[in-house]
Structure 1
Amino acid sequence: MPKPDAGATRRILLVEDHPVERAYLQNMLLALGYRRVAGLGSSTEAISALARQFYDVVVSDIVMGEGDGTRLPNELRRLVDVGRLKSMPPIIWISSLSDELLQSHVRLALQAGCPSAQALSKPVSRSAMQHAIKVALHSVDDVTSPRQQSVRREVIEAELSRALITGEGLSLVLQPQISLSSGRVVAAEALSRWDHPQLGAIAAADFVPAAHRLGMDRMLFTRVTDRVLEILRRMHDDDIAVPIAINASASTLCSRDLPELLEQRVGQAGLPARLVKIELTEDEPVTDWLALSSALNLLRVRGFELAMDDFGAGIASMRLFSAMPFTELKIDRDFIVHMHREPASRAVVAAAIEMGRVLGRRVVAEGVEQERDVQLLRELGCEIAQGYGVSMPLEPGAFIEFCRQH
């Protein structure tokens, strides 16, 4: 039982379209000591409420007559990205759906950025609700408050502009991609790192979206590209020819002059274009399909390799892969992590591998963390893997030495 004063300060948003069940759950939460419980009948109403008022926890049904609960995580992410919501609240799903679907919605909320997500089967018992609320509040109490998060976000944005202009504190690590048949390094992905003198290490999950909000995606891409070319030049001098992938958003790739400028930079470095791989991320929607298609085709004509990141995670994955000239697809790590115990995830992995085989495109499994992942991927016919199970990200010098040994 929470302390009365603690319950009195916590705001809980309950989203349930059935009025009787909503009243039952509201009374349950009140009996548990939570005094600020708002009950609404649809996710549409919930999204509007969250844009006006911060709530510590959201308790939501999934299947509702109007404003399906499945919309909630992505809509909340959108509110955060546009600055109308300070931070993502934890979500507790309540539903009569199967356990498989409940866990799928848990992953959906976590992928969107909720600090925690849980699922309770209806009818919900008082003890189950009490435990779920406790876990949810613990997840937000373990991190900074919404106000502190807002201040940190503003500081990150202000400091990122300076870092991108000066390059101070920015660095790269390289995550090897390994052939599962030979054990050799076949490529690598460049991962940005930012170590701030006062804030410390800032995760890419924080500063890459900040660059997008500031309209500085292109500047970040240029910084990474320059550093990758330096590393490739050093490797070229040592007779090591391993391509390195550079992440780029759709908006960055839609810049009309990007293919030509990239070709010039690679040429000035005395490197073949095939050593530079452009990896399209799905962290923002494609708004101009024609511009993106033109840019990708120009890059391919100029000899650059093209990879599609997080295949299967975004709704545009299939359309992108079938319509654009990619040479490689990377299976989203979430399917790799769950393929051992979820038939659906394993089926997605197998289908992606077969699609790559039929179309003659490389397939890379991301998020490979255990030996059993490697074994199953071999059985499914996947040739290339990356993740901590094959190699952690390496500093450039360590990566070059790793290539010499593999």
Structure 2
Amino acid sequence: MILNAAVPNEFNALRVITLATDATCASRLSGALSAMGITPLANVESLSAVQAWLDESQVDVIVCEIRLGSDAGLMLPSLLKGRYDAGTLMQLPSIFWTGETTLNARAQAVDGACVPPRQASTNQFWIRHIGGVAVSALESHARLARTAGILVEILRDGTPLELGDALRAVMLTRAEADPQLNVATFDALAEDEVINALTTGEGLRFVFQPQFELLSRRVVGAEALVRWKHPQFGEIPPSVLMPLVNRLGLDLLLFSLVEMWTIRVMLALKRERIWIPIAVNASAKTICTPHFADSMAARMRQADLPTRLLKIELTEDVPEPDELLLSASLTAIRTKGFQVSLDDFGTGAATLNLLANLSFDEMKIDGSFVRAVEQHASSRKVIAGIVNWAGLLNLNLVAEGIEDESTIPLLHRLGCRVGQGYALARPMEIDAFLGFVIEQGKPQ
């Protein structure tokens, strides 16, 4: 559930309504928003009431509680899409889903019969639910909504920090299109502030998330990530930061900063005689920069590090329209000895096209499939198919987004040998990451 917390009144320009079917839920949602500096415009109890509000007023966010006995929250994206497609809704509100979080044991099938959890073996599969709905099902529904252009956030932990981050992301992404919010948020200063952050390093942090061999839990790699803490708005989500960086044409500068800190980490590990590859994200636009491969090779040579230790992870933030140029650039990178990984495989037809036409050393299974692997046979089949495909193409494979310990043995049985995610280790500050990897490398 969302908890109250006293925080600065930074969200009061947002127009928010709540969708709750009883007074207790409405009061709880209203209290949580009030603690964030927001007075909800209204609480509504049905989809028809939401529709009436949208006919009269512009709404930025609809917060609704997922609960048993009511499907209004689940039906909300469909309502918004229908009205938007019909031209009666000019701006799509964001949707926040929250609800009571529970862990329920799933009944197991034994010899064709469904055995209740208390009668089954002690080795249970536990499924996380929000408001009585499996989180994997909510994620799948939210993914479809986002594909349709509707931002849906699932507040899993229900903490004030999580609610604040979700609200902040809405403010930052809507500011440009909304003059009222533009006055109240940092978008008017975003360009100068992003430039200042990337040129001075102010507010930037570089963190590293280990990748593990699932069976032995041995660290076999890592991914370098960037975080930006804004002086007023706090932690800026990567989903907000990266579009700003790309819009300003600062993608190469950001890559260079992450690469620099990654090389420093590699040098620290080298002193301990530890050699693990570290991935750095790069868009197609960045990769297609003239002399990109030569410049990277020169920096690795200057640091006296083998190029195989630096892995370039291709993201889809900025697609490269010239596939021939992208193919040449990737080939040049691999020729220098760098590994190339395809990020978020399975999220769309674009990744299939890339894999079919271009050469990679590795692909990463998108976390949306990994998180649903226990609950949905379809996700298990998709992952098994990706494993087979990776084998045919002689590609390494990484399962990302592993959030539940119980999924690890299942992923291994499906053929995934390497993975990363919160169930294994969260992204770590540099000193913590070095300490963790060095300690793990000591003889037991």
Q: Same fold (TM over 0.5)?
A: yes
Deviation at 1:179, TM superposition (A): 0.4
CA distance in 2, matches of 1:203, 1:33: 30
Q: Secondary structure at the match of 2:94?
A: coil
Give the match for residue 209 of structure 1.
243
Deviation at 1:59, TM superposition (A): 5.7
Question: Which amino acid in the other structure matches residue 293 of structure 2?
Answer: P
Give the match for residue 107 of structure 1.
143
Q: Secondary structure at the match of 1:189?
A: strand
Q: Secondary structure at the match of 2:398?
A: strand
Give the match for residue 89 of structure 1.
94
Contact persistence 1:353–1:380 (CA under 8 A): yes
CA distance in 1, matches of 2:49, 2:211: 54
Deviation at 1:31, TM superposition (A): 6.5
Deviations 1:133-173 (A, max 9, x none): xxxxxx87997595447733333332111111112222211
Contact persistence 1:110–1:116 (CA under 8 A): no
Distance verdict in 2 for CA 1:213–1:301, change over 3 Å: same
The more displaced of 108-117 and 251-260 is 108-117
Contact persistence 1:174–1:394 (CA under 8 A): yes
Contact persistence 1:282–1:314 (CA under 8 A): no
Distance verdict in 2 for CA 1:200–1:352, change over 3 Å: same
Question: Which amino acid in the other structure matches residue 200 of structure 2?
Answer: T
Deviation at 1:314, TM superposition (A): 2.6
Matches within 5 A, 1:1-400: 34=52, 36-37=54-55, 60=78, 89-90=94-95, 104-110=140-146, 114-116=151-153, 147-148=180-181, 151-400=185-434
Contact persistence 2:398–2:417 (CA under 8 A): yes
Distance verdict in 2 for CA 1:310–1:359, change over 3 Å: same
Deviation at 1:315, TM superposition (A): 2.0
Question: Which amino acid in the other structure matches residue 34 of structure 1?
Answer: A
CA distance in 1, matches of 2:167, 2:205: 30
Deviations 1:259-305 (A, max 9, x none): 11111111111111001000001223331111111110000000000
Question: Structure 2: where are the runs of 5+ without partners?
Answer: 1-14, 18-45, 63-75, 98-133, 155-165, 175-179
Distance verdict in 2 for CA 1:62–1:162, change over 3 Å: closer
Question: Which amino acid in the other structure matches residue 203 of structure 1?
Answer: P
Contact persistence 2:61–2:96 (CA under 8 A): no
CA distance in 2, matches of 1:182, 1:381: 14
Question: Which amino acid in the other structure matches residue 226 of structure 2?
Answer: S
CA distance in 2, matches of 1:180, 1:162: 40
Q: Secondary structure at the match of 1:37?
A: helix
CA distance in 1, matches of 2:225, 2:168: 30
Higher share of residues assigned helix: 1
When the two chains are superposed, the root-mean-square deviation of aligned CA atoms in Å is 3.7
Deviation at 1:349, TM superposition (A): 1.1
CA distance in 1, matches of 2:319, 2:169: 32
Q: Secondary structure at the match of 2:349?
A: coil
Contact persistence 1:10–1:35 (CA under 8 A): no
Contact persistence 1:60–1:91 (CA under 8 A): no
Deviation at 1:29, TM superposition (A): 6.4
Question: Which amino acid in the other structure matches residue 90 of structure 1?
Answer: I
Give the match for residue 20 of structure 1.
none
Contact persistence 1:228–1:244 (CA under 8 A): yes
CA distance in 1, matches of 2:416, 2:271: 31
Deviations 1:92-139 (A, max 9, x none): 9xxxxxx9999744322247661458xxxxxxxxxxxxxxxxxxxxx8
Q: Secondary structure at the match of 2:320?
A: coil
Task: Return the TM-score normalized by structure 2.
Answer: 0.65
Question: Which amino acid in the other structure matches residue 236 of structure 1?
Answer: K
Contact persistence 1:59–1:91 (CA under 8 A): no
The more displaced of 368-377 and 341-350 is 341-350
Distance verdict in 2 for CA 1:274–1:61, change over 3 Å: same
Question: Which amino acid in the other structure matches residue 298 of structure 1?
Answer: A
Deviation at 1:62, TM superposition (A): 9.8
Q: Secondary structure at the match of 1:371?
A: coil
Which of structure 1's runs of 4+ aligned residues deviate more than 6 A? 28-33, 99-103, 139-143
Question: Which amino acid in the other structure matches residue 142 of structure 2?
Answer: V
Distance verdict in 2 for CA 1:168–1:372, change over 3 Å: same
CA distance in 2, matches of 1:104, 1:269: 44
The more displaced of 359-368 and 142-151 is 142-151
Distance verdict in 2 for CA 1:59–1:391, change over 3 Å: closer
Deviation at 1:36, TM superposition (A): 4.8
Q: Secondary structure at the match of 2:186?
A: helix
Question: Which amino acid in the other structure matches residue 230 of structure 2?
Answer: H
Deviation at 1:393, TM superposition (A): 1.1
Contact persistence 2:297–2:307 (CA under 8 A): yes
Question: Which amino acid in the other structure matches residue 325 of structure 2?
Answer: A
Question: Which amino acid in the other structure matches residue 340 of structure 1?
Answer: E
Deviation at 1:342, TM superposition (A): 1.7
Question: Which amino acid in the other structure matches residue 433 of structure 2?
Answer: F
Give the match for residue 108 of structure 2.
none
Question: Which amino acid in the other structure matches residue 350 of structure 1?
Answer: A
Deviation at 1:321, TM superposition (A): 1.4
Deviation at 1:359, TM superposition (A): 1.9
Question: Which amino acid in the other structure matches residue 201 of structure 2?
Answer: G
